[in-house]
A and B are shown apart, each in its own frame.
Chain A
Amino acid sequence: MEPFIRLDAVALPIARPNCDTDQILPARYLQKPLADDFGAYLFRDLRYRADGSENDAFVLNQPAYRAARIVVAKENFACGSSREHAVWALRDYGIRAVIAPSVGDIFASNAAKNGLLVVPLAHDAVDRMIERIEAQPGLHVAVDLDAQTVSTPGGDTHAFPIDAYQKRCLLEGLDELGYTLTQIERIEAFEREHAY
């Protein structure tokens, strides 16, 4: 997992609530092997028409947003399926942070395990950020994990909360399973105690 420190990058506005996991990664790509580049399928049915041509109306196809590494979305982003592929699609495309008032619970868990930072930010702050980005496509947003702030140039700076452990995982690229495996004795003790 690539460590996350500070990111100053183009932000992609997803100006709709409830952008579900089927939009982020359609179910027909769930059968692709783990080693695949899921970035190619990110927002697939929004980016491409049925005939395979690019849909110019979708934000990610606009030249100013193609280099996006941050998503700024309305509430309940990535609701729906437990597919970790939604996170992999964002990650493989190059997205390292999602800023939104809320995201699906399972998506949040999946994101944390793949070095994708989820920044919870109040509705009105997200609305303002999206307005600023749409007025100035290609606008950079800066995410500073160490300082726990996000900011737009000449705009507001917002502090955000994050678990201490998750922050350390992101900063150092740690892996949770590796840690749990060091705790097997406590799991065994629990199994004995509960007659499992």
Chain B
Amino acid sequence: MFKFQFNSVADFFAMGIYGFYVWVAYGAFFAVILWNWWQPRMERRRIVRLLRARGERQQEQQGGNATSATQQQSAQQ
């Protein structure tokens, strides 16, 4: 059950006569898996920076007042 099916590394990459099809399919699979992991990480960084920049802008408007940005914003609504 646990016998390696190929005689050499070159043999493994050749996948019989199907190397091209197998590795393109696996490439597409890994591209999607990595994108699914990478995209949310980048998005998270983008959102955190956006929210932080907004918070700092509001603090400047208040002239360093202790009231939180949150309270001011909800009061405006």
Bound pair (A, B):
no
A contact residues vs B (CB 8 Å cutoff): none
Interface of B with A (CB < 8 Å)? none
